[in-house]
Amino acid sequence: MSGRRTLVLCGDCWHPAETVRRGLAALPANGFEFEFSETGTAAAETLRNFSLVVLAKANLISPTDRREWLTADSPGGLADYVRRGNGLLIIHGGTSRYGGLPAMRALAGGAFLNHPPECDVTLEPQPAHELARGVDAFTVCDEHYAMAFEGSPADVFLNSRSEHGVQPAGWTRSAGNGRVCVLTPGHNLAVWRHPSFQKLLLNTLRWTAKMS
Contact 197, 31 (CB under 8 A): no
Do residues 39 and 72 make contact, with C-beta atoms less than 8 angstroms apart?
no
What is the predicted pLDDT for the residue at 181? 97
Class of domain 4-113+146-156+167-208: alpha beta
Give the residue extent of every domain in the chain.
4-113+146-156+167-208
Largest CA distance in the chain: 46
Q: What are phi and psi for residue 71, nearest 5 degrees?
A: -130, 170
pLDDT tens per residue across span 137-186? 999 999 999 999 987 667 999 999 999 999 999 999 999 999 999 999 99
Give pLDDT, residue 1.
Answer: 40
CB within 8 A of 42, min separation 6: which ones? Answer: none
How far is residue 173's CA from residue 76's CA, in Å, rounded to a whole number? 19
Residue pLDDT, tens place only, 99-142: 999 999 999 999 999 999 999 999 999 988 999 999 999 999 99
Inter-residue contact 162 to 144 (CB < 8 Å) = yes
User: What's at 211, amino acid-wise?
Assistant: M
State which amino acid sits at residue 113: L
Burial, 157: exposed, middle or buried (Cβ in 10 Å; 0-12, 13-18, 19+)?
buried
